[in-house]
Copies of this chain bind each other. A is one copy, B any other.
Amino acid sequence: MAREIGIGMIGCGVVGQGVLRLLHDNARSIEARLGGKLVVRRIAARDSGKARDPVVPLDLLTYDPQLVLEDPSVDVVVELVGGLEPAGSYVRQALERGQNVVTANKMLLAEHGHELIELAESRGVDLYFEAAVAGGVPIIRVLREALASDRILGLRGIVNGTSNYILSRMHDEGLGFADALAAAQAAGYAEADPTLDVGGGDAAHKLTILATLAYGARIASSQIPTEGITEIEAVDIEFARRFGYVIKLLAVARSLETADAASDRDHAPLDLRVHPALISERSVLASVSGALNAIYVQGEALGPCLLSGLGAGSLPTAVSVVSDLVDVGRNVFAGSRGRVPSRAFRGEHLVERPVRALGEHVGRYYLRFSVLDRPGVLARIAGALGAFDVSIEQMVQRARSTSGEAPVSVVMLTHAARERDVQAALGEIALLQHVVERTRMIRIEEV
């Protein structure tokens, strides 16, 4: 008799139905790879009456997640509810019962990942989460296994498809943020409440997971300075283009180690941040548009490596979930659960690494000032910047106002400067006469 891995699902929405679709359609090739069958035993869904993909086996549906968790024939619980609670309780309970867990829940992992992974490790079960970051792009496996021999110097990701879709529409069609957001919602790329996506929180959750795996460090998402794209205006996209840049929401992790042999590179501070950034239009990440995700990894030995693909959607995300199920199934059959540490590094080797304050960030900046077109105003702005050691590399002023009464945009790109100096200068500039709106500051990322 063929060996079987029993699967219990909690949550049967868009991704869950994709999982069932793959388990059904690819059953034969999955068995040819795994040497056994992945068999769904029970599915908990809040609204089991709702119209569903015909692949959903109605006889396995229940309203009660407890029936999934208590089913002794379930070897792996797939948690696809999302959010902190009740999803966290389900995962905790499954692990405590000795069930393996596969989840796509980045928020839960970012907030409670260390606790849950340690619980899994203590029970000798697996907790897999490839689908939590960048949908179908196998970045978790790559960091955990393919790069197990290397040191990650840095990674830069486009990991929020909603924001990328919105910025692409703004870039391609000159839309403003609100119109592009509405278009994303109409196209199904943004939720009714898009705050987590466009505010950067979702990308920060994913970065928490990626940085933990890349650096074997205990990182909390609260440590990640996070800015979203809600304040990006069409005029910023336009100015960026004029200078040869595009604007992307980036998740950045870098090890701030020095080449100094005496320094302890494994405990060097980390540079972690999520924010919109100007990147060169010739950068590999510049061409990652629409709902695509991409992660650009810089390995010390590997050099640059790019992975890109669809970051969301029913089937691409389901590919990651079901490949995790195959992996867990292999561990069950081989008796090798816990074979690869969930955080890439074994728990006892995890380190604490300080996260550098954003004020210490050194980089170039895009600054857009709104000023009344009066003699001397630019000189005073330049003077304030210079007083804080911020020097100007390029400047452009938009069409002069005819009356002198309507504000005009002046954009400056700075040379590399320290962020706290830039902020201090902007504080002074805000007090200047004829500077009429808050200055827009966007970091420039060399990638």
Contact = CB atoms under 8 A, between A and B. Distances in A.
Contacts of A315: 301-303
A34 interface: yes
Interface stretch (A42-50, A244-252, A318-326, A375-383): A318-326
A407 interface: no
Contact of A335 (B316, B327, B336): B336
Interface string A268-305: 00000000000000001001000000000001011111
A326 to B, nearest CB: 4
Contacts of A325: 149
A266 B33 CA distance: 13
Given A32-B216, A334-B336, A346-B33, A327 B151 contact: no
B309 A302 contact: yes
Contacts of A28: 266
Interface string A106-137: 00000000000000000000000010000011
A301 B316 CA distance: 6
A174 interface: no
A303 B309 CA distance: 7
Interface in A145-192: 145-151
Given A29-B216, A136-B299, A266-B29, A147 B306 contact: no
A130 B150 contact: no
Interface string A411-435: 0000000000000000000000000
A357 to B, nearest CB: 26
B319 A149 contact: yes
Contacts of A321: 149
A65 interface: no
Given A136-B299, A136-B305, A148 B33 contact: yes
The CB with the most chain B CB atoms within 10 A, among A141, A301, A319, is that of A301
A342 B30 CA distance: 15
Contacts of A56: none
B306 A308 contact: yes
A35 interface: yes
A142 to B, nearest CB: 6
A307 interface: yes
Contacts of A145: 138, 141, 145, 323, 326-327
Given A33-B349, A148-B327, 17 more contacts: A22-B150, A29-B151, A30-B149, A34-B148, A136-B302, A136-B305, A148-B322, A148-B326, A284-B308, A299-B319, A302-B319, A303-B313, A303-B316, A330-B336, A330-B339, A334-B335, A336-B339
16 contacts: A18-B301, A22-B149, A26-B150, A28-B266, A29-B216, A33-B148, A136-B299, A145-B145, A148-B322, A148-B327, A303-B309, A303-B313, A305-B309, A331-B339, A334-B336, A335-B336
Interface of A: 18, 21-22, 26, 28-35, 130, 136-138, 141-142, 145-151, 216, 266, 284, 287, 299, 301-310, 313, 315-316, 318-323, 325-327, 330-331, 334-336, 339-341, 344-346, 349
